Amino acid sequence: MRRLFLLFCLTVASPAWAGGIAFIVNSRGPSISVVDMATLKEVSRIPTLREPHHLILTPDGHSLMVGDTAGNQMMFLDPNTGEVQKRMPVADPYQFQFSPDGKLLTVNGLLRNQVDVYDAASMKLLKRFPVVATPSHLTYSPDSSTVFVSLQDSDKLVAFDLRTMTEKWTVPIGKTPAGVLWLNGTVLVADMGTDHLAQVDPATGKILALIPTGKGAHQLFLSPDKKILWVNNREGGTTVSLDATTLKLIRSYSIPGGPDDMDFAPNGKIWITRRFAEKVAVLDPASGSYETINVGRSPHGLFLNPKAPSPAVVSSR
Amino acid sequence: MGDPFDLSAGWLEEHLLIPMLYQFGLMNWEDVSYSWVLFALYGVAQVAVTFAVCLPLEHWRPVERWPDNKAVWVDVAYTVLSRVGVLPLFTYVLFYRAQVFVSGWMTDQGWVPPTLEGLFPVLLGQQMITFVLYAIILDFADYWRHWLAHQFRWWWALHSLHHAQRQMTFWSDDRNHLLDDVIAFVWFGVIALLIGVPPLQFPLLVLTLRFLESLSHANVRLSFGWLGDRLLISPRFHRAHHGILGAGDRSCNYGAVLPWWDMLFRTADFGRDYVQTGDPSGEEALATGSYWQQQRAGLRRFARTFGRQHARHGS
């Protein structure tokens, strides 16, 4: 009876989400911190070759791809355990994303000034687009027909037609275009050299509006329920929330230490890498306070896998 | 507890450099400035450590005492300029870009760029061990660069600026002609590319090797003993390389950090004791001129080598 009672208590008292692994890419580590999402503690570090920056999940969910730029290597990790599955030579993989239909993989070679489009299934290079300067962030149109790439060391945004594999347009967009995101039929570009996002017509590249967010607008993310747009401002040291429909500012949060990438936990908290502080902030948007996790040098990309077993369980296998 | 250098660099980046870059519309330099400030901090620390270690040694047992050490101050300027400003910026920015270009090109051709960790996977994640191994390889490469600088007339003309100092101290390691420095950086950079030195380790490797080289230039009667002198280059060993050559003398001791290469290729001389330094064959400006006078004198000597035949030199 006592055991049944204990089992009942554990079942009821445990939150629906009670574990999981966070992967934090330490660009200067060079390594990947594996963090227990339940305890907010780093439990292990996976060494990488030279300088990893970003990571994404493969469309089948079986692998986490980590791009090592100076190592010219794509690492594939098991998203449940962090175990290295394989390594593949890929030139300068800085930012990369699968197209929404899962058929293409676009890889931005930041320092090699190239945008590579691969067949996602075979990883065969289909097309290389040389660009004027430092392709940094990218986003797709929902029908996977176009990819939009910010050229950070120029003032430009470029659009490539992925059906004809040709350039559609290149337009000046601001001082230092960084994060890009497709939202409600437009493309939003964070301009790190100013304090705003540019809202761009995807057909023509024309700027439709400028949306103030904070000094050094760098990276932008849509909440899982698609209601809130989150923007990290590098110079201002702030993270702001905007209404995703009206693009009106809701609230600003102080996140010092160079806020960069973010991901959303099932408990509503937002994980943000703090590039210059060797830390990750776990922000509670309701209270505005955040907890801090110590990680490696220059944390950049991050990925949360709340469904993974806790790292303690993994290590005991 | 994080890395104090990285955290300090992050603080400076966040509170000083980014606001400045933002103000002047230069945010596209954000990544470069972040790396530069880190290596500049390493440079500051390295100069401070060199100062803290070498200055007491030079006061303790100097080889020579000079009534006026004005010539040393120019060497101080060389050191600060080189280690805090130019060296971190160039070693990182140029090497990084070259590394990305070359290794990316190789990857495109289907070749995996060479790295120690690629050859020996057990080294992956062992940063301290790979750091030491890369340092040994680079020191070997530097031995040959230095030996060659003494073989070619035009190269010696540039390198003789380094040898002209009669008041040799730990500050003297960086007194080089700018062209000689460029050659050394290219040489180091190419070797580092070939062996796959991580771009973020390269400036640190250069600074570490340079610390030991500073010590070897110190104006101090210091030997590491029979065995120690054969493991690591001491001020006594390197001073012999800077010595004024008498009739029948041959230049020796070209190594920078490890004497192993001199021993292996029979250029080591452990017998010369605390000789006088300098290069009597060069014009006086090379020894006692201001920074720019020294640079111009070096350039004149360099230009002359293309006009006249000189005997091969090796000081």
Q: What is the pLDDT of residue A6?
A: 44
| pLDDT tens readout for residues B48-91 | 888 899 999 999 999 999 888 888 999 999 988 877 766 666 66
| pLDDT tens readout for residues A64-118 | 999 999 888 999 999 999 999 999 989 899 999 999 999 999 999 998 899 999 9
* Lateral strand order in the sheet of A21-26: A41-47, A31-36, A21-26, A299-305
Q: Torsion over CA of A23, A25, A31 and A32, rounded to 10 degrees?
A: 0
Decide if the complex's ipTM is over 0.85.
no
Q: What is the pLDDT of residue B97?
A: 75
Chain-wide mean pLDDT for chain B?
Answer: 86
Interface of B with A in 20-39 (CB under 8 A): 22, 25, 27-28, 30, 34
Q: Torsion over CA of A56, A121, A99 and A35, rounded to 10 degrees?
A: -10
pLDDT band, very low/low/confident/very high, at B218 (cuts 50, 70, 90): very high
Is residue A16 scored above 50 in pLDDT?
A: no
Q: Considering CB atoms only, which of B7, B28, B103 is closest to A72? A: B103
User: Is B94 an interface residue toward A (CB < 8 Å)?
Assistant: no
Interface of A with B in 123-162 (CB under 8 A): 134, 152-154
Is residue A309 scored above 90 in pLDDT?
A: no
What average pLDDT does range A195-206 have in this prediction?
96
Is residue B184 scored above 60 in pLDDT?
A: yes
Is residue A297 scored above 60 in pLDDT?
A: yes
What average pLDDT does range A201-220 have in this prediction?
96
Q: What is the pLDDT of residue B290?
A: 93
Tokens 């027909």 correspond to A145
Q: Check residue A294 and give left, alpha or beta (phi > 0: left; psi -120 to 50: alpha).
A: beta
Q: What is the C-alpha separation between B97 and B106, in angstroms, rounded?
A: 14
Percent of chain B with pLDDT strictly greater than 70: 92
Q: What is the pLDDT of residue A10?
A: 41
For B76, phi then psi, to 5°, come to -60, -45
Q: Which domains does chain A have, with CATH numbers?
A: 18-316 (2.130.10.10)
Q: What is the pTM of this model?
A: 0.81
Structure tokens at B134: 């890369």
What average pLDDT does range A198-215 have in this prediction?
96
Tokens 């380790």 correspond to B201
Is residue B112 scored above 60 in pLDDT?
A: yes
Is residue B109 scored above 50 in pLDDT?
A: yes
Chain-wide mean pLDDT for chain A?
Answer: 91
Q: What is the C-alpha separation between A252 and A259, in angstroms, rounded?
A: 13
* Lateral strand order in the sheet of A156-161: A135-140, A146-151, A156-161, A166-172
Structure tokens at B236: 């006594």
User: Is A192 an interface residue toward B (CB < 8 Å)?
Assistant: yes
Q: What is the pLDDT of residue A17?
A: 45
Q: What is the pLDDT of residue A191?
A: 95
Pick the residue of A136, A176, A215 with the most B CBs within 10 A to test the interface with B by mutation.
A176
**In contact, A27 and A297? CB cutoff 8 Å:** yes
**In contact, A47 and B124? CB cutoff 8 Å:** yes
Q: What is the pLDDT of residue B208?
A: 81
* CA B184 to chain CA centroid, nearest Å: 8
- What is the chain A residue with the closest CA to B103? A72
- Where is mean pLDDT largest: B70-79, B109-118, B302-311? B70-79
pLDDT band, very low/low/confident/very high, at B33 (cuts 50, 70, 90): confident
Q: What is the pLDDT of residue B121?
A: 84
* Residue closest to B46 by CA, chosen among B16, B82, B15: B82
Q: Between residues B97 and A39, which one has the greater pLDDT?
A: A39
Is residue A12 scored above 50 in pLDDT?
A: no
Is residue B141 scored above 50 in pLDDT?
A: yes
What average pLDDT does range B86-106 have in this prediction?
73
| pLDDT tens readout for residues A41-53 | 999 999 998 899 9
**3-state secondary structure string, chain B?**
CCCHHHHHHHHHHHHHHHHHHHHCCCHHHHHHHHHHHHHHHHHHHHHHHHHHHHHHHHHHCCCCCCCCCHHHHHHHHHHHHHHHHHHHHHHHHHHHHHHHHHHHHHHHCCCCCCCHHHHCHHHCCCHHHHHHHHHHHHHHHHHHHHHHHCCCHHHHHHHHHHHCCCCCCHHHHHCCCHHHHHHHHHHHHHHHHHHCCCCCCHHHHHHHHHHHHHHHHCCCCCCCHHHHHHHCCCHHHHHHHHECCCCCCCCCCCCCCCCHHHHHCCCCCCCCCCCCECCCCCCHHHHHCCHHHHHHHHHHHHHHCCCCCCCCCCC
**Three-class secondary structure of residue A57 per DSSP:** strand
Q: What is the C-alpha separation between B134 and B116, in angstroms, rounded?
A: 8
| pLDDT tens readout for residues B250-274 | 789 999 999 999 999 999 999 888 8
Q: Between residues B250 and A134, which one has the greater pLDDT?
A: A134
pLDDT band, very low/low/confident/very high, at A9 (cuts 50, 70, 90): very low
Q: What is the DSSP string of A8-21?
A: HHHHHHS-S----E
Residues of B in contact with A67 (CB under 8 A): none
What average pLDDT does range B109-113 have in this prediction?
74
Residues of A in contact with B28 (CB under 8 A): 134, 152-154, 175-176, 193
Pick the residue of B3, B16, B21, B28 with the most A CBs within 10 A to test the interface with A by mutation.
B28
pLDDT band, very low/low/confident/very high, at B36 (cuts 50, 70, 90): confident
Structure tokens at B166: 């009669």
Residues of B in contact with A92 (CB under 8 A): 100, 104
Is residue A168 scored above 90 in pLDDT?
A: yes
A31-45 CB burial, b ≥16 within 10 A, e <16: bbbbbbbbebebbeb
Q: A133-137, A205-209, B34-38, B308-312: which has the minimum mean pLDDT?
A: B308-312
Residues of A in contact with B120 (CB under 8 A): none
- Where is mean pLDDT largest: B12-16, B34-38, B106-110, B203-207? B12-16
pLDDT band, very low/low/confident/very high, at A312 (cuts 50, 70, 90): low
Is residue B232 scored above 50 in pLDDT?
A: yes
Tokens 């439990």 correspond to A43
